[in-house]
Chain A
C-alpha cells in the first residue's frame, strides 16, 4: 500500500477511535450523574436552602451555585425570569458549590444577610459587583460587606452570624451534597431530580418544559 495512505488511514482511525471514546464516556458519565441523583435524592433539596418562587411549585430547579462563578452570574437573571414567568409552577432552590477560592466567605456573608431577610438583595448586589471582588487570582469576598452595608442590616450581628456554627453547618452540608451528586462545575442544575447534562440556557428551558409537561402543569 502507498505509504501516504498508511499515514492518512492511521490518522483517520485515531480520530474515529477518539470520537467513539467521546460517545462512550459521555453516555457513561450521564448515566452516572442520573444514578447519583436517583440514589442521593435526599441530597438535592434541604430544608435550610433559600427558595425563590412558590414553595409549593410542581417543578423545582435546584441550582448548585457559586457566587464567584461568572456563568452563575449570567444565569441568575435567566433563572429568575423563568421562575417569575411560570405563574407559581417553578421554584428555584439555591445550593452552594463554593469551587472558587474565597467563595465560602462570600456564601457565609450572603447567608448572614438571609438571616435578616435581605438575602436576594444581598445576592443581587454581590453578583453585580462580582468582577470587582471575585478576581480569581486575588478574590476579596470581604468587599461584599461594603456592598450590602446600606441594606439596613444589623452589621455586628451579621458578622457574628457569618462566623457562627449554623452557617458553617449549612455550607458543609451543601458541599457534601455537591460531592454526593457529582457536581463538579457551576452552575449545576437539577430539574425535579434530573441533572442537566448538556449545559446551556436552551437545554435548561427544554428540561423545565419537559418536567412541567410531566407534572401536568400545562
Chain B
C-alpha cells in the first residue's frame, strides 16, 4: 500500500492533488467575490455548482494535510457532478438548451448576460474550466497513486 503518511517521503499524488485543491480554492473565492462582493446574485444552476465546488476545498484540503490519497475518491464524484452541471449551464447560457428545462425563473436568470459574465468571460465557462481542471488533476493523482 502506498500512502505517504507524514512528510518524509514525497508522495507522487501530492502535487496533482494540490493543483486540484488550488483550483477549487480559487473557484470558491471567485464565486464568493462575484456573489457577495460584486452583488451578482447566483442563479439556480450556479447554486448547484457551488454545492459541488465549495466542499472540494475542505475535502481536498484535509486530504492534502494528511497526505491521504483516499480524498481523491471522495472528491471525484463532487467534481464530476459539478462538471456536468456547469456544462449544462453553459449550454443554457449559449441558448443551445432551452431554459424552460430548469426552473431558473426564481431568483436571478441563468441566461442574463448582465449577471452571467465576469470580465468578458461567461461565468459558467469559468466554472466548467475549473471543474475540468479539477477532474483532470484528480485523475492524475489517482493514476500516480496506483503506479
Binding site for B on A (CB under 8 A): 2-4, 6-7, 10-11, 14-15, 17-18, 21-22, 25-26, 137, 184-185
Q: Does the CB pair A184–B39 fall under 8 Å?
A: yes
Among A7, A14, A26, A185, which residue has the most Cβ atoms of chain B within 10 A? A7
Q: Does the CB pair A18–B29 fall under 8 Å?
A: yes
Give A136 to B7 CA distance when docked, in angstroms: 55
Question: Which residues of B lie under 8 Å from residue A3 when comparing CB positions?
Answer: 7, 10, 14, 64, 67
Interface residue? B126 (CB, 8 A): no
Q: What 0/1 readout, one digit per residue, does chain B (9-37) give for beta carbons within 8 Å of chain A?
A: 01000100010011001100100110001
Question: Which residues of B lie under 8 Å from residue A185 when comparing CB positions?
Answer: 39
Question: Closest Cβ of chain A: how far from B145's Cβ, in Å?
Answer: 15
Q: Does the CB pair B33–A18 fall under 8 Å?
A: yes
Give A7 to B106 CA distance when docked, in angstroms: 38
Of all chain B residues, which has the CB nearest A24? B37
Question: Which residues of A lie under 8 Å from residue B22 when comparing CB positions?
Answer: 10
Question: Which residues of B lie under 8 Å from residue A25 when comparing CB positions?
Answer: 33, 37-38
29 CB contacts below 8 A, A to B, read A2-B7, A3-B7, A3-B14, A3-B64, A3-B67, A4-B7, A4-B65, A6-B18, A7-B18, A7-B64, A7-B65, A10-B22, A10-B25, A11-B25, A11-B61, A14-B26, A15-B29, A17-B29, A18-B29, A18-B32, A21-B33, A21-B37, A22-B33, A22-B37, A25-B33, A25-B37, A25-B38, A26-B37, A137-B106
Count of B residues near A, CB < 8 Å?
Answer: 19
Of all chain B residues, which has the CB nearest A6? B18
- If over half of A's interface residues share one DSSP class (helix, strand or loop), that class is named, otherwise mixed; here it is helix
Give A105 to B141 CA distance when docked, in angstroms: 58
The 6 closest A-B pairs by CB, nearest first: A7-B64, A18-B29, A22-B37, A14-B29, A14-B25, A25-B37
Of all chain A residues, which has the CB nearest B11? A3
Give A132 to B70 CA distance when docked, in angstroms: 53
Question: Which residues of B lie under 8 Å from residue A4 when comparing CB positions?
Answer: 7, 65
Q: Does the CB pair B37–A7 fall under 8 Å?
A: no
Question: Which residues of A lie under 8 Å from residue B14 when comparing CB positions?
Answer: 3
Of all chain B residues, which has the CB nearest A5? B7
Give A184 to B39 CA distance when docked, in angstroms: 10
Question: Closest Cβ of chain A: how far from B16's Cβ, in Å?
Answer: 13
Give A21 to B32 CA distance when docked, in angstroms: 11
Question: Which residues of B lie under 8 Å from residue A21 when comparing CB positions?
Answer: 33, 37
Give A3 to B8 CA distance when docked, in angstroms: 10
Give A201 to B6 CA distance when docked, in angstroms: 53
Give A3 to B12 CA distance when docked, in angstroms: 13
Question: Which residues of A lie under 8 Å from residue B7 when comparing CB positions?
Answer: 2-4
Give A21 to B64 CA distance when docked, in angstroms: 27
Give A21 to B36 CA distance when docked, in angstroms: 12
Give A7 to B57 CA distance when docked, in angstroms: 11
